[in-house]
Structure 1
């Protein structure tokens, strides 16, 4: 908000991070064809944990929270009442995990793009769009009315992808640091 920016400037603070909440109504989405050899399936707890943690760390190597997840972090999320492996999608080629989309339905009528990640080794295969669309299709079939997500405002690639899939700005939070 302008008042927050003015206050930050008055105390010598700088904005270091912006977290955007984007939303879209549920509805049809075009799911692209996977790249040759890429297969999409759902997550199997216990079987896919290590591979997912590895790709999550690769995809979010510079993210202050997401890239540092441990087995305990994953286990805690899987113990949540909203966890549903049927809404946790993996993209593989030749048995190697390349990308994922974990969806979440924690509130009635609202689905969430919880986390989408693509291994840097698989960049350029269109997996971000594919996996996001697969998850949106799942959320649509689940009967939600609205879909939300949170994304770092500085992640221009992700923000552009989400906006191209019909997401609009809903809310923004800023993190500030004094110099």
Structure 2
């Protein structure tokens, strides 16, 4: 009596579409958007530092050089950039599926970044802005965007955690399918 092996247990599972969607959504939320925000802040800083203003009889000086755009300092920009690039590397590793530990690393990173993003967006929504910092019409304009980012930050990690714990995603990261019950008995 010879045992036959099926191709199901030998072949490497392909990446499921739902996993592709989960990885792409999390990379966009936690890498692409923060990097775009950093680029926006840096371009606004660059623009204002190149604007000239006639300042008395001494000549022309740059306005807003060294200014603080949107209350974001250089160290916070650097930290956001490092975190975004690190998550991009994790996302690429999760896309490839190797090493096997990237499954757990992706889940932990998504949950940690989601908690951080929720805290960062919830505090300005709940706290009233101090009058000393100034009030602009842009404050009310940014409120719906914070709420939308908060909703996305809740939905994307829920989807990522749900789908990455499903059988097809676990099989992709494991590198093989589990044997069928008939194969285990025989």
TM class by shorter-chain length?
under 0.3
Q: Which has the higher helix share?
A: 2
Please give the TM-score of this superposition, normalised by the length of structure 1: 0.27
Please give the TM-score of this superposition, normalised by the length of structure 2: 0.26
The higher radius of gyration belongs to 2
